[in-house]
């Protein structure tokens, strides 16, 4: 099944929520020390549905458009050609406490969750379960009928009084009937298409998520506050958040599927494998960025994702774009843009940037595994990647009709930067309004900070036609009939992957927003 189709069907895409740090209560990350000789799985015959569980439908396609032979497994370590039957035989060691939960000593619901977790861990060759700390991040954000069984299961857990071990963040909701889909046709589609949204929100409210203001995929922003300490074992889902958390924060989480995040959150435990291990965090690719100017971060991320698929890259040549090798609120969007592209054009759950990200700062090239491969991204390669982006508009030469900025969600710095770029360009062109509506996706606390600290600019942006919303960009672009009626433009390499919206670098995007036309040669 083609990936885009899969996403449309499953809609288990991106994103996260806002918590003040004080809301996030920590718990010891110490792994349960005492282990008993008992084992967690009874093994048995492999069910039919599990045959393909060791890889996804994501086949590695190189920048040349040819298959690379790799298949994503979402573990951070390629398991091409792995056999599900073999994985079924593996059994991890459980502590007495974990075995007791599995045996039902803490209730029927928890026993079921533990059973799921143990089977999951065994399938991926986990050695044991580890205790989680920090705060989880969930990507269970779509209340569509196909999520019914998952929502029902979580509802049963909530009714049984289960809760996440810590207040957790959640991806943005898939719609915004206040500011984006505030028209009769869209609202009708939304209430039909997301008929279980209320049930899902109710589940989150009981399991430990804060109010809807905190919905965002960029949960790690200061205004949101879900940024666990380096080395913390934690359960996050949402490809862009996992990718940023592992790489820039230095946390340890696998790329969990929707639902597995909350199962782990309710148990406070996760199977240790893949990106949670030292070995699984070794880089098998050396990526040398050698562009003559600051790279196009989305294009570089796309190139890395396509090349490495889910393997881990050690990236050189980027330190000069981070003053003193520091990631700050003013430059983190560069890594957010690059990383989310590696996670959507491929399935990269962790990258190291030489001299910048925490593990690369500590260990340097020692992070490279033996027999690593090398990939150079120079001006020519970057141009080749950008040229490979298809124009998916049904009316290929039509004029754009809307701009999408903020996938993953915008930082405060990005909101102000875009506000100035667009309003100053409008003034220069003698205009007061943008030629097309501009949707700025951001967490509500970022919007509130922007209003408080830059009220005049935010007012100007609003009058010019720039709309702030905390929904998910791709969910909007994935709406039924969207590509037939909207010719979208974006600077997000992630939105580009999952929709018909076309990608342009920032400077070109500003021109498009002001004129409503795509510049010749762009």
- Please answer whether residues 220 and 17 qualify as being in contact, where contact means their C-beta atoms are separated by less than 8 angstroms: no
Q: Determine contact, residues 393/378, Cβ cutoff 8 Å.
A: no
E strands of 355-401, at which residues? 368-377
Q: Which two tokens stand for residue 313?
A: 């890259």
Write the interaction track for ligand F3S spanning residues 198-227; mark x where CB under 6 A is met and - where it is not. -------------------x----------
Q: Is the dihedral of CA 324, 332, 77, 30 positive or negative?
A: positive
**DSSP 8-state assignment for residue 162:** -
**Given the rule CB under 6 A, which of 68-76, 219-227, 405-413, 459-467 is the region that contacts ligand F3S?**
405-413
Closer by beta carbon to ligand F3S, 238 or else 311: 238
Residue 13 is a binding residue for ligand F3S (CB under 6 A): yes
Burial bucket for residue 454 (CB in 10 Å: 0-12, 13-18, 19+)? middle
Nearer to ligand F3S, 128 or 173 (CB): 173
Residues from 89 through 128 that contact ligand F3S (CB under 6 A): none
Smallest separation, CB 400 to ligand F3S (Å): 19
- Minimum CB separation from ligand F3S for residue 172, in Å? 5
Select from 110-118, 179-187, 386-394, 404-412 the region that touches ligand F3S (CB under 6 A).
404-412
* Residue 172 makes contact with ligand F3S by CB under 6 A: yes
Instruction: Rule CB under 6 A: say whether 473 interacts with ligand F3S.
Output: yes
Q: Which residue in the set 70, 122, 197, 240 belongs to the binding site for ligand F3S (CB under 6 A)?
A: 240
Secondary element (H or E) of residue 467: strand 466-469
User: Which C-beta is closer to ligand F3S: that of 435 or that of 442?
Assistant: 442
Write down the least CB distance from residue 176 to ligand F3S, Å. Answer: 12
How many residues touch ligand F3S under the rule CB under 6 A: the total is: 16
Between β-strands 169-170 and 137-138, what pairing exists: parallel, antiparallel or unpaired?
parallel
Distance CA 327, CA 446 (A): 18
Q: Does 15 bind ligand F3S (CB under 6 A)?
A: yes
Interface residue with ligand F3S, options 120, 351, 441, 503 (CB under 6 A): 441
Asked if 479 contacts 194 with a C-beta cutoff of 8 angstroms, the reply is: no
488 binds ligand F3S (CB under 6 A): no
Closest to ligand F3S by CB, 217 or 276: 217
Q: What is the largest CA-CA distance in the chain?
A: 76
Q: Which is nearer to ligand F3S, 197 or 291 (CB)?
A: 197
* Sheet of 438-441, strands arranged across: 466-469, 438-441, 402-405, 488-490, 502-503
Contacts of residue 129, defined as CB under 8 A and 6 or more positions apart, other chains included, come to 32, 92, 94, 95, 98, 117, 121, 269, 270, 271, 272
The three-state (H, E, C) secondary structure of 185-241, written as one string: HHHHHHHHHCCCHHHHHHHHHHHCCCCHHHCECCCCCCCCCCCCCCCCECCEECHHH
Question: Site for ligand F3S (CB under 6 A): which residue of 385, 407, 438, 510?
Answer: 407
- Residue 169 C-beta: closest distance to ligand F3S, Å: 12
At closest approach, how far in Å is the CB of 7 from ligand F3S? 10
Which of 144, 235, 416, 472 forms a contact with ligand F3S (CB under 6 A)? 472
Q: Which residues bind ligand F3S (CB under 6 A)?
A: 13-15, 171-172, 217, 240, 340, 407-409, 441, 472-474, 494
């Amino acid at each position: 099944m083609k990936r885009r189709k899969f996403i449309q069907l499953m809609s288990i895409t991106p994103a996260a929520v806002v918590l003040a740090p004080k809301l996030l209560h920590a718990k010891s990350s110490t792994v349960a020390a005492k282990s008993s000789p008992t084992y967690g799985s009874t093994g048995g015959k492999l069910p039919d549905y599990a045959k393909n569980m060791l890889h996804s439908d994501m086949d590695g396609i190189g920048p040349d458009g040819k298959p690379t032979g790799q298949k994503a497994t979402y573990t951070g370590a390629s398991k091409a050609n792995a056999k599900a039957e073999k994985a079924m035989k593996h059994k991890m060691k459980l502590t007495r406490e974990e075995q007791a939960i599995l045996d039902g000593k803490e209730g029927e619901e928890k026993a079921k969750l533990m059973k799921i977790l143990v089977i999951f861990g065994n399938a991926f060759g986990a050695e044991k379960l580890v205790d989680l700390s920090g705060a989880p991040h969930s990507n269970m954000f779509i209340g569509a009928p196909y999520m019914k069984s998952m929502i029902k299961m979580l509802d049963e857990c909530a009714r049984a009084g289960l809760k996440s071990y810590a207040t957790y963040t959640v991806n943005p909701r898939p719609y915004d009937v206040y500011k984006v889909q505030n028209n009769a046709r869209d609202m009708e589609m939304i209430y039909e298409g997301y008929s279980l949204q209320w049930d899902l929100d109710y589940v989150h409210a009981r399991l430990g998520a804060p109010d809807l203001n905190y919905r965002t995929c960029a949960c790690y922003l200061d205004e949101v506050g879900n940024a666990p300490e380096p080395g913390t074992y934690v359960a996050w889902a949402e490809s862009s958040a996992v990718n940023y958390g592992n790489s820039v924060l230095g946390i340890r989480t696998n790329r969990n599927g929707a639902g597995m995040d909350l199962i782990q959150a309710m148990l406070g435990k996760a199977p240790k494998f893949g990106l949670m291990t030292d070995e699984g965090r070794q880089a098998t690719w050396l990526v040398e960025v050698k562009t003559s100017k600051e790279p196009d971060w989305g294009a570089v991320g796309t190139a890395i994702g396509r090349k490495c698929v889910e393997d881990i890259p050690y990236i050189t040549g980027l330190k000069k774009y981070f003053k003193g090798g520091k990631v700050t609120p003013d430059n983190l969007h560069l890594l957010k843009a690059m990383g989310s592209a590696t996670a959507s054009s491929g399935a990269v759950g962790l990258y190291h940037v030489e001299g910048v990200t925490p593990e690369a700062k500590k260990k340097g090239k020692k992070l490279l595994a033996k027999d690593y491969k090398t990939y150079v991204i120079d001006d020519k390669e970057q141009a080749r990647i950008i040229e490979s982006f298809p124009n998916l508009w049904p009316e290929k030469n039509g004029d754009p009709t809307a701009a999408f900025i903020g996938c993953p969600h915008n930082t405060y710095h990005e909101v102000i930067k875009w506000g100035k770029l667009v309003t100053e360009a409008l003034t220069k062109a003698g205009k007061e309004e943008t030629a097309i509506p501009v949707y700025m996706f951001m967490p509500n606390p970022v919007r509130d900070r922007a209003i408080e600290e830059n009220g005049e600019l935010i007012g100007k942006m609003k009058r010019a036609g720039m709309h702030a919303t905390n929904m998910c960009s791709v969910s909007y672009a994935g709406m039924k009939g969207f590509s037939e009626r909207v010719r979208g433009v974006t600077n997000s390499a992630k939105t580009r992957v999952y929709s018909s919206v076309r990608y342009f670098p920032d400077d070109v995007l500003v021109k498009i927003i002001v004129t409503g036309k795509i510049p010749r040669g762009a």
